[in-house]
Amino acid sequence: MRALEATVRLSSMTAAAEELSVTHGAISRHIKSLEEMFGIPLVLRGTRSVVATPEGARLANDLSNAFALIASSVEQLQPGPLTLSCSSTIMMSWLIPRIGMFHELHPEIEVRFNMNYDRIDFVRDEISVAIRNSMIEPPKEVIIKDLVDEWIGPVCSPEYAARHFRTPSDLQKCVLLATKTRLGGWADWAKASAQDAEFRPQKIYDHFYLLIQAAACGLGVGMVPKILVLDDLRSGKLVAPLGFAAGSFKLVLWVAPHLRARPETRALVDWLTEEFRKPGMQGETVQAVPLKLSDRRLSVPANRTRPLRRV
């Protein structure tokens, strides 16, 4: 039954075998055994994919619900590690620099991470809380908690801005950067900021963290959610010449319904909610923080080296 459920859900015996840590032949034999027992075909085997028959699809769906219920009941009695899911860019740009503060408040709580920005199965993937964009369809029965509006805007290096930005209309002459995961980002920003012009990106990156790095290196102007560059704006690594505008989406938390009453889950949800609502996360202007004198003393110009001192 596990073999059938995984095969129908993944539309592949090979993928089901990988998930269940068995061979392709074992999956095939298990499904064939079920078909012989029921006397009806449950899947139609193709060269590259597997399609469930109506009877197979109905059985697989019910099995999926049953397995989820079993796992959920067991986890309520013996919960696994607290697991937070978010995109790799949020993990790198926002969460990692801040998670130390959560550990200081709750040293007894262990947090495990899952890097994913799409739909999830809380039970199967063993996830407690997920940070998501409201554009993504949530799972059924999930607890949804609104965090903040998503503010979006163009960013680039200070040097690129100094060379290319005199007026907002200069944006048309710049190299525009976008990501495959948000190809409509420039159009969304134009609408949100009441821009009449049409902006077409010239360079497309697979992920936001690649786009952000490209913008910081002076390769063009990237369209990004503010949350992903908040620290880069404060450090002066990036600037936002035209500011940010409230987009059409929100940042939300998905909370596993069977884990919402768990003290560790509530502590993580409360901390994330507080962090997301701190100053700077909305439309406020973010000022670069000047380098401290102590930091300057530690820095050595790239074209100078200190002589070695004899001991």
Identity (one letter) of the amino acid at 107?
A: P
pLDDT of residue 110: 93
What is the rounded CA–CA span in Å between residue 212 and residue 89? Answer: 9
Identity (one letter) of the amino acid at 103?
A: H
pLDDT of residue 272: 97
pLDDT of residue 13: 92
Mean pLDDT of all residues belonging to the chain: 87
Identity (one letter) of the amino acid at 117?
A: Y
pLDDT tens digits, 36-52? 999 999 999 887 789 99
pLDDT tens digits, 238-270? 999 999 999 999 999 999 988 888 999 999 999
Position with higher pLDDT, 72 vs 295: 72
The whole-model pTM stands at 0.70
What is the rounded CA–CA span in Å between residue 288 and residue 16? Answer: 50
What is the rounded CA–CA span in Å between residue 286 and residue 231? Answer: 9
Are 283 and 244 contacting, i.e. CB atoms less than 8 angstroms apart? yes
Confidence of residue 78 (pLDDT cuts 50, 70, 90): low
pLDDT of residue 47: 76
pLDDT of residue 293: 37
Q: In the structure encoding, which two tokens stand for residue 34, read together?
A: 């079920």
Which candidate, 202, 223, 172, 196, places its Cα nearest to that of 164?
172
- Other Cβ atoms closer than 10 A to 102: 18
pLDDT of residue 291: 45
Are 14 and 24 contacting, i.e. CB atoms less than 8 angstroms apart? yes
pLDDT tens digits, 113-164? 999 888 888 888 889 999 999 999 998 889 999 999 999 999 999 999 999 8
pLDDT of residue 235: 94
Share of the chain above pLDDT 70, in %: 90
pLDDT of residue 282: 79
Q: In the structure encoding, which two tokens stand for residue 13, read together?
A: 């015996």
Q: Looking at 2-53, which runs of residues are DSSP E strands?
A: 43-45, 50-52
